Amino acid sequence: MRVAFIGDIIGRPGRNHIKKELKKLKETHKIDFVIANGENASHGFGLTCENADELFKSGIDVLTGGNHIWDKKKDILALLKTSPVLRPHNYPDGVEGTGLKIFEINNQKIAVLNLMGIYGMPQVTNPFLVARDVVWQLNSDGIFHIFVDFHAEATAEKRVMFELLKGKVSAICGTHTHIGTDDYEVANGTFYVSDIGLTGCRDNVIGMDSYVPLKKALTGLGGHFDIPKSCKTIFQIVIVDIDNSGKAISGIKVKLFSDIETVVNNAIIS
Protein backbone atom coordinates (compact mmCIF):
# COMPACT_ATOMS: atom_id res chain seq x y z
CA MET A 1 0.00 0.00 0.00
CA ARG A 2 1.30 3.44 -0.90
CA VAL A 3 -0.08 6.26 1.26
CA ALA A 4 0.59 9.98 0.82
CA PHE A 5 0.20 12.85 3.25
CA ILE A 6 0.00 16.54 2.34
CA GLY A 7 0.96 19.11 4.98
CA ASP A 8 -1.15 22.11 6.03
CA ILE A 9 -3.01 23.47 2.98
CA ILE A 10 -3.01 27.26 3.17
CA GLY A 11 -5.87 28.96 1.33
CA ARG A 12 -6.52 29.21 -2.39
CA PRO A 13 -2.83 29.10 -3.46
CA GLY A 14 -2.47 25.72 -1.74
CA ARG A 15 -5.75 24.39 -3.12
CA ASN A 16 -4.85 25.51 -6.66
CA HIS A 17 -1.43 23.86 -6.53
CA ILE A 18 -3.03 20.61 -5.37
CA LYS A 19 -5.69 20.84 -8.07
CA LYS A 20 -2.97 21.26 -10.68
CA GLU A 21 -0.55 18.55 -9.54
CA LEU A 22 -2.11 15.88 -7.31
CA LYS A 23 -3.77 13.64 -9.89
CA LYS A 24 -0.58 13.52 -11.98
CA LEU A 25 1.43 12.81 -8.82
CA LYS A 26 -0.90 9.95 -7.89
CA GLU A 27 -0.44 8.38 -11.30
CA THR A 28 3.33 8.82 -11.37
CA HIS A 29 3.91 7.38 -7.90
CA LYS A 30 0.99 4.91 -7.95
CA ILE A 31 -0.47 6.34 -4.75
CA ASP A 32 -3.41 4.39 -3.27
CA PHE A 33 -4.63 6.80 -0.60
CA VAL A 34 -4.15 10.51 0.14
CA ILE A 35 -4.47 12.23 3.51
CA ALA A 36 -4.17 16.01 3.91
CA ASN A 37 -4.43 18.53 6.72
CA GLY A 38 -7.20 20.93 5.70
CA GLU A 39 -7.76 23.17 8.72
CA ASN A 40 -6.23 26.22 6.96
CA ALA A 41 -7.63 25.51 3.50
CA SER A 42 -10.27 28.27 3.50
CA HIS A 43 -8.47 31.63 3.39
CA GLY A 44 -6.01 30.35 5.96
CA PHE A 45 -8.51 29.74 8.75
CA GLY A 46 -10.86 26.76 8.89
CA LEU A 47 -12.52 24.69 6.19
CA THR A 48 -15.73 25.35 4.25
CA CYS A 49 -17.95 22.73 2.64
CA GLU A 50 -17.18 24.19 -0.81
CA ASN A 51 -13.41 24.01 -0.32
CA ALA A 52 -13.57 20.51 1.17
CA ASP A 53 -15.49 19.32 -1.90
CA GLU A 54 -12.89 20.98 -4.14
CA LEU A 55 -10.07 19.12 -2.37
CA PHE A 56 -11.85 15.76 -2.52
CA LYS A 57 -12.41 16.24 -6.25
CA SER A 58 -8.69 17.04 -6.60
CA GLY A 59 -7.82 13.54 -5.33
CA ILE A 60 -7.68 13.77 -1.52
CA ASP A 61 -9.40 10.94 0.37
CA VAL A 62 -9.54 12.28 3.94
CA LEU A 63 -8.92 15.68 5.56
CA THR A 64 -7.52 16.10 9.07
CA GLY A 65 -7.66 19.12 11.39
CA GLY A 66 -6.12 20.94 14.32
CA ASN A 67 -6.56 24.10 16.35
CA HIS A 68 -8.25 26.00 13.48
CA ILE A 69 -10.75 23.25 12.73
CA TRP A 70 -13.63 25.23 14.30
CA ASP A 71 -12.96 28.56 12.55
CA LYS A 72 -15.78 27.98 10.03
CA LYS A 73 -18.01 26.40 12.62
CA LYS A 74 -21.27 25.95 10.66
CA ASP A 75 -19.45 24.32 7.76
CA ILE A 76 -17.21 22.08 9.84
CA LEU A 77 -20.09 20.76 11.94
CA ALA A 78 -21.80 19.67 8.71
CA LEU A 79 -18.59 18.20 7.30
CA LEU A 80 -17.84 16.19 10.45
CA LYS A 81 -21.25 14.52 10.13
CA THR A 82 -21.24 13.80 6.40
CA SER A 83 -17.68 13.71 5.01
CA PRO A 84 -14.28 12.04 5.63
CA VAL A 85 -13.15 15.03 7.70
CA LEU A 86 -11.46 14.60 11.10
CA ARG A 87 -10.89 16.85 14.07
CA PRO A 88 -8.27 16.02 16.74
CA HIS A 89 -9.38 12.86 18.53
CA ASN A 90 -8.24 14.09 21.93
CA TYR A 91 -10.82 16.86 22.27
CA PRO A 92 -12.88 16.20 25.43
CA ASP A 93 -15.92 13.91 25.37
CA GLY A 94 -19.02 15.56 23.97
CA VAL A 95 -17.26 17.50 21.19
CA GLU A 96 -18.81 16.93 17.75
CA GLY A 97 -17.01 14.64 15.32
CA THR A 98 -14.16 12.17 15.63
CA GLY A 99 -10.44 12.02 15.03
CA LEU A 100 -10.40 8.38 13.97
CA LYS A 101 -11.73 6.84 10.79
CA ILE A 102 -11.08 3.43 9.22
CA PHE A 103 -10.96 2.96 5.46
CA GLU A 104 -10.51 -0.07 3.21
CA ILE A 105 -7.82 0.16 0.53
CA ASN A 106 -6.84 -2.81 -1.67
CA ASN A 107 -8.65 -5.18 0.72
CA GLN A 108 -6.64 -3.79 3.65
CA LYS A 109 -8.05 -1.69 6.48
CA ILE A 110 -6.20 1.54 7.26
CA ALA A 111 -6.91 3.76 10.26
CA VAL A 112 -6.28 7.51 10.15
CA LEU A 113 -5.81 9.04 13.61
CA ASN A 114 -5.73 12.83 14.12
CA LEU A 115 -4.27 14.11 17.41
CA MET A 116 -3.34 17.54 18.75
CA GLY A 117 -0.47 18.49 21.06
CA ILE A 118 -0.68 20.31 24.38
CA TYR A 119 1.94 23.10 24.24
CA GLY A 120 0.43 26.36 22.93
CA MET A 121 -2.81 24.65 21.91
CA PRO A 122 -6.48 24.75 23.00
CA GLN A 123 -7.62 22.55 25.87
CA VAL A 124 -7.40 18.89 24.92
CA THR A 125 -6.96 15.55 26.65
CA ASN A 126 -3.44 14.13 26.97
CA PRO A 127 -2.62 13.02 23.38
CA PHE A 128 -0.10 10.40 24.49
CA LEU A 129 -2.59 8.52 26.64
CA VAL A 130 -5.23 8.75 23.91
CA ALA A 131 -2.75 7.54 21.26
CA ARG A 132 -1.62 4.61 23.41
CA ASP A 133 -5.17 3.45 24.09
CA VAL A 134 -6.48 3.94 20.54
CA VAL A 135 -3.55 2.13 18.93
CA TRP A 136 -3.84 -0.75 21.39
CA GLN A 137 -7.54 -1.09 20.55
CA LEU A 138 -6.89 -0.94 16.79
CA ASN A 139 -4.24 -3.63 17.07
CA SER A 140 -6.62 -5.75 19.16
CA ASP A 141 -9.15 -5.41 16.34
CA GLY A 142 -6.58 -6.63 13.84
CA ILE A 143 -5.82 -3.21 12.30
CA PHE A 144 -2.09 -2.51 11.88
CA HIS A 145 -2.08 -0.03 8.99
CA ILE A 146 -2.29 3.14 11.10
CA PHE A 147 -1.43 6.67 9.93
CA VAL A 148 -1.17 9.45 12.55
CA ASP A 149 -1.39 13.20 11.95
CA PHE A 150 0.02 14.80 15.11
CA HIS A 151 -0.85 18.49 14.98
CA ALA A 152 1.52 20.08 17.49
CA GLU A 153 3.61 23.19 18.08
CA ALA A 154 6.58 21.60 19.83
CA THR A 155 8.91 19.31 17.92
CA ALA A 156 9.78 17.65 21.24
CA GLU A 157 6.15 16.55 21.68
CA LYS A 158 6.18 15.09 18.17
CA ARG A 159 9.38 13.20 18.86
CA VAL A 160 7.94 11.81 22.10
CA MET A 161 4.92 10.57 20.14
CA PHE A 162 7.30 8.84 17.72
CA GLU A 163 9.11 7.10 20.58
CA LEU A 164 5.78 6.06 22.10
CA LEU A 165 4.32 4.60 18.89
CA LYS A 166 7.44 3.51 17.03
CA GLY A 167 6.91 -0.02 15.75
CA LYS A 168 3.18 0.15 16.53
CA VAL A 169 1.90 2.39 13.71
CA SER A 170 2.76 2.77 10.02
CA ALA A 171 3.49 6.50 10.04
CA ILE A 172 3.50 9.63 12.20
CA CYS A 173 3.48 12.93 10.33
CA GLY A 174 3.66 16.23 12.17
CA THR A 175 1.64 19.25 11.06
CA HIS A 176 0.86 22.79 12.35
CA THR A 177 4.09 24.80 12.15
CA HIS A 178 3.90 25.12 8.34
CA ILE A 179 7.71 24.76 8.24
CA GLY A 180 8.98 21.51 6.75
CA THR A 181 11.67 19.57 8.62
CA ASP A 182 14.29 17.24 7.13
CA ASP A 183 14.22 14.52 9.82
CA TYR A 184 12.13 12.01 7.85
CA GLU A 185 13.08 8.45 8.67
CA VAL A 186 11.78 4.90 8.92
CA ALA A 187 12.49 3.09 12.20
CA ASN A 188 11.03 -0.22 13.41
CA GLY A 189 8.51 -0.08 10.58
CA THR A 190 7.28 3.44 11.37
CA PHE A 191 7.77 6.42 9.05
CA TYR A 192 8.28 9.73 10.88
CA VAL A 193 8.68 13.42 10.09
CA SER A 194 8.35 16.26 12.61
CA ASP A 195 6.54 18.53 10.14
CA ILE A 196 5.71 18.06 6.48
CA GLY A 197 5.43 21.80 5.91
CA LEU A 198 2.77 23.89 4.24
CA THR A 199 1.26 23.67 0.79
CA GLY A 200 0.62 27.22 -0.39
CA CYS A 201 2.57 30.49 -0.62
CA ARG A 202 6.27 30.11 0.25
CA ASP A 203 7.69 33.64 -0.25
CA ASN A 204 6.20 35.22 2.89
CA VAL A 205 5.50 34.13 6.50
CA ILE A 206 3.98 30.62 6.99
CA GLY A 207 1.83 31.06 3.87
CA MET A 208 0.44 34.44 4.91
CA ASP A 209 1.11 37.97 3.68
CA SER A 210 4.19 39.39 5.44
CA TYR A 211 2.73 42.82 6.33
CA VAL A 212 1.03 41.92 9.64
CA PRO A 213 3.83 39.65 10.96
CA LEU A 214 6.41 42.35 10.17
CA LYS A 215 4.30 45.03 11.82
CA LYS A 216 3.92 42.91 14.95
CA ALA A 217 7.66 42.14 15.06
CA LEU A 218 8.57 45.83 14.80
CA THR A 219 5.80 47.46 16.87
CA GLY A 220 4.15 44.74 18.97
CA LEU A 221 0.83 45.49 17.28
CA GLY A 222 -0.85 42.56 15.57
CA GLY A 223 -3.67 42.21 13.09
CA HIS A 224 -5.50 39.73 10.89
CA PHE A 225 -3.33 37.48 8.75
CA ASP A 226 -4.28 37.38 5.06
CA ILE A 227 -3.40 35.14 2.14
CA PRO A 228 -1.30 37.02 -0.49
CA LYS A 229 -3.09 37.84 -3.74
CA SER A 230 -0.10 36.52 -5.70
CA CYS A 231 2.90 34.45 -4.62
CA LYS A 232 5.33 31.66 -5.41
CA THR A 233 3.88 28.38 -4.16
CA ILE A 234 5.11 25.05 -2.84
CA PHE A 235 3.33 21.69 -2.66
CA GLN A 236 4.82 19.41 0.05
CA ILE A 237 3.89 15.75 0.32
CA VAL A 238 5.33 12.57 1.81
CA ILE A 239 4.73 9.19 0.17
CA VAL A 240 5.10 6.05 2.30
CA ASP A 241 5.26 2.41 1.21
CA ILE A 242 3.57 0.12 3.73
CA ASP A 243 3.75 -3.69 3.60
CA ASN A 244 0.89 -6.11 4.25
CA SER A 245 1.66 -6.23 7.98
CA GLY A 246 1.33 -2.45 8.35
CA LYS A 247 5.07 -1.74 8.51
CA ALA A 248 6.54 1.20 6.62
CA ILE A 249 9.39 0.02 4.40
CA SER A 250 10.35 3.31 2.73
CA GLY A 251 9.29 6.90 2.34
CA ILE A 252 10.03 9.98 0.26
CA LYS A 253 9.36 13.69 0.59
CA VAL A 254 8.37 15.47 -2.62
CA LYS A 255 8.45 19.26 -2.96
CA LEU A 256 6.81 20.75 -6.05
CA PHE A 257 7.50 24.43 -6.70
CA SER A 258 5.65 26.85 -8.96
CA ASP A 259 8.90 28.35 -10.24
CA ILE A 260 11.76 25.82 -9.88
CA GLU A 261 12.41 22.10 -10.36
CA THR A 262 10.88 19.39 -8.19
CA VAL A 263 12.91 18.15 -5.20
CA VAL A 264 12.65 14.55 -3.95
CA ASN A 265 14.36 13.28 -0.77
CA ASN A 266 14.42 9.73 0.60
CA ALA A 267 13.83 8.93 4.27
CA ILE A 268 16.72 7.27 6.07
CA ILE A 269 16.07 3.76 7.37
CA SER A 270 17.40 3.18 10.87
pLDDT in tens, 98-138: 999 999 998 999 999 999 999 999 999 999 999 999 999 99
Task: From 1, 5, 15, 3, select the one nearest 207 (Cα to Cα).
Answer: 15
Q: Which pLDDT value is given to residue 268?
A: 85
pLDDT of residue 139 exceeding 90, the answer is yes
How high is the mean pLDDT of the chain? 96
Q: Which pLDDT value is given to residue 40?
A: 97
With bands split at pLDDT 50, 70 and 90, how would you rate the model's confidence at 86? Answer: very high
Q: Which pLDDT value is given to residue 262?
A: 87
Three-state SS across the chain? Answer: CEEEEECCECHHHHHHHHHHHHHHHHHHHCCCEEEEECCCCCCCCCCCHHHHHHHHHCCCCEEECCCCCCCCHHHHHHHHHHCCECCCCCCCCCCCCCCEEEEEECCEEEEEEEEECCCCCCCCCCHHHHHHHHHHHHHHCCCCEEEEEEECCCHHHHHHHHHHHCCCCCEEEEECCCCCCCCCEEECCEEEECCCCCEEECCCECCECCHHHHHHHHHCCCCCCCCCCCCCEEEEEEEEEECCCCCEEEEEEEEEECCCCCEEEECEEC
With bands split at pLDDT 50, 70 and 90, how would you rate the model's confidence at 243? Answer: very high
Domains of the chain, by residue range, sit at 2-269
Is the overall model pTM greater than 0.85, yes or no? yes
Q: Which pLDDT value is given to residue 229?
A: 86
Q: Which pLDDT value is given to residue 202?
A: 96
With bands split at pLDDT 50, 70 and 90, how would you rate the model's confidence at 172? Answer: very high
Q: Give percent of the chain with pLDDT exceeding 70.
A: 100
Of 17, 68, 176, 178, the active-site residue reads: 68
pLDDT of residue 270 exceeding 80, the answer is no
Residues 37-58 have pLDDT tens digits of 999 999 999 999 999 999 999 9
CATH number belonging to domain 2-269: 3.60.21.10
- Per the annotation, the verdict on 29 as an active-site residue is no
pLDDT of residue 26 exceeding 90, the answer is yes
